[in-house]
Amino acid sequence: MENTGMPMLGAKFPTLEVTTTHGALTLPEDYKGKWFVLFSHPSDFTPVCTTEFVGFAQAQEEFDELNTKLVGLSIDGVTSHLKWVEWIKENIGVDVKFPIIADELGRTALKLGMVHDAVGTSTVRSVFIVDDKGVLRLIMYYPMDVARSIAEILRAVRGLQMADINEVVIPENWPNNKILGDAVLYKPAKTVEDALKQKERIEKDGGTYVDWWYSYKKLDK
């Protein structure tokens, strides 16, 4: 299958009209004003994918608190999705409440670069995080044989939202960075004039100034 390309970070997420286990859905329009995480999996009724779907379902309330919807996808039909969700509930006791796209012809997967010929015709483990303005903010890819970390996806959504609200940048493993703890970083100055004013501005803001390109602060909880 020929890959038709994929959207870029910072670009508007392409309009997708899809069939899901919850009926027809148009992305990103139907989630206007909300963030959403669109994630693909290789196939229904497979062990690694099952653990991921259980993880997403168990974390759904945390995503809801972040104004973030979950949407799954694979090149399986609606019937397969429904039977798999039923199996998960009956055998693991977890109710998958988010919609799953039935991309049987693979059109959505190809449009988003989810099919990698080198590893077969199934969708790889892709993650697309889209903000409340319909802008693509983050893309992750995982191979067939290693599951995603739902905690990392939650951390990424929290970090992106925190960065937007406070106009800051987020350090490694925030909020548990070994150097800064749960502090966040100021955006570095972009001009000589800004650099000269950076120290005064940061100290006035209650932050810790180290250098014009490296300063940080604690956020009010």
CATH of 16-148, one of 1.10.340.30, 3.40.50.1220, 3.40.30.10, 3.20.20.150: 3.40.30.10
Measure the CA–CA gap between 52 and 28, rounded to whole angstroms.
23
Domain covering 167-221 in this structure, CATH number: 3.30.1020.10
Tokens 């109710």, residue? 95
Tokens 């974390």, residue? 59
Mean pLDDT of 3-18: 83
Q: What is the pLDDT of residues 23-72, one digit of tens each?
A: 999 999 999 999 999 999 888 999 999 999 999 999 999 999 999 999 99
Which residues are catalytic, by number?
49
Residue range(s) in the chain whose domain bears CATH number 3.30.1020.10: 167-221
Q: What is the pLDDT of residues 93-111, one digit of tens each?
A: 999 999 999 988 778 888 8
pTM of the model: 0.91
The answer to whether the Cα torsion of 30, 35, 40, 45 is positive or negative is negative
Q: What is the pLDDT of residues 172-217, one digit of tens each?
A: 999 999 999 999 999 998 999 998 899 999 999 999 999 999 999 9
Residue range(s) in the chain whose domain bears CATH number 3.40.30.10: 16-148
Measure the CA–CA gap between 61 and 156, rounded to whole angstroms.
16
